[in-house]
């Protein structure tokens, strides 16, 4: 479905994940995070950027374990930054499709 975010049309799935990462901007990330009740800090951006870059490079989003090992933020802290679902929330805010592993 097409939604309007900050006056731009974007393609989202039923749960609000971007279908076309190229439509995303950092400002949109801030807006999505705000709707989720999260104020983004540098630490958040470190995770979001890692997540997004890995997706754009490999075509699949990193798992929570990879985030913990390679993003520079340990898993426990990831859960503090993105309560309940770090991989899912970082993907949503970072404008990439919903990670697998949710089936």
Partner 1 sequence: MSRIVILGAGTAGTIMANRLQRLFSREIKSSKTTITVVDNNPAHLYQPGLLFIPFGDYSPGQLQRPRKEPVNKKVKYISESIDRVASDENRVYLINGTPLDYDVLIVATGTRIAPEETEGLTGPGWREKIFDFYSLDGAMALRNALSTWKGGRLVVDIVDMPIKCPVAPLEFAFLADAFFTKRGMRDKVDITYVTPLDGAFTKATCSKELTHLLTDKNISLVTEFSAGSVDGEKGLLTSWDERQIPFDLLVTIPLHLGAEFVSRSPGLGDDSGFVRTDPQTLQSKVAPNVFAIGDATDVPASKAGSVAHFEAEILEKNVKLFLEGKPLEGRFDGHANCFIETGFNKALLIDFNYQVEPLRGFFPVPHLGPMPLLKESRINHLGKLAFRWVYWNVLLPGHDIPFVGPLMSMRGKTPLGATP
Alpha-carbon Rg of the chain, whole angstroms?
13
Q: Which of 95, 91, 32 is nearest to 61 (CA)?
A: 91
Query: Near partner 1 by CB under 8 A, which window of 1-9, 32-40, 44-52, 81-89?
Result: 81-89
Nearer to partner 1, 28 or 61 (CB): 61
Nearer to partner 1, 5 or 17 (CB): 17
Q: Is 102 a catalytic residue?
A: yes
Stretch that binds partner 1, among 2-10, 25-33, 44-52, 83-91 (CB under 8 A): 83-91
Q: Does 72 bind partner 1 (CB under 8 A)?
A: no
Judged by CB under 8 A, the residue of 5, 51, 78, 96 near partner 1 is 78
Q: Choose the stretch contacting partner 1; rule: CB under 8 A; options: 16-24, 29-37, 39-47, 59-67.
A: 59-67
Q: Which helix (H) or strand (E) holds 35?
A: helix 26-35
- 58-96 b/e with 16+ CB inside 10 Å = b? eeebbebeebbeebebeeeebeebbeeebbbbbbbbbbb
CA–CA distance, 31 with 5 (Å, rounded to integer): 8
Site for partner 1 contains 65 (CB under 8 A):
yes
């Amino acid at each position: 479905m097409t939604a309007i975010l900050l006056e731009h049309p974007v393609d989202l799935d039923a749960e609000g994940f971007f279908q076309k990462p190229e439509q995303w901007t950092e400002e949109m990330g801030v807006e999505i995070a705000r709707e989720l009740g999260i104020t983004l800090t540098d630490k958040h951006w470190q995770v979001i950027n890692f997540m997004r870059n890995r997706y754009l490079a490999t075509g699949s989003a990193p798992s929570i374990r990879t985030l913990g090992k390679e993003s520079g933020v340990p898993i426990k802290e990831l859960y503090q930054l993105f309560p309940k679902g770090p991989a899912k929330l970082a993907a949503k805010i970072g404008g990439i499709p919903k990670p697998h592993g949710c089936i």
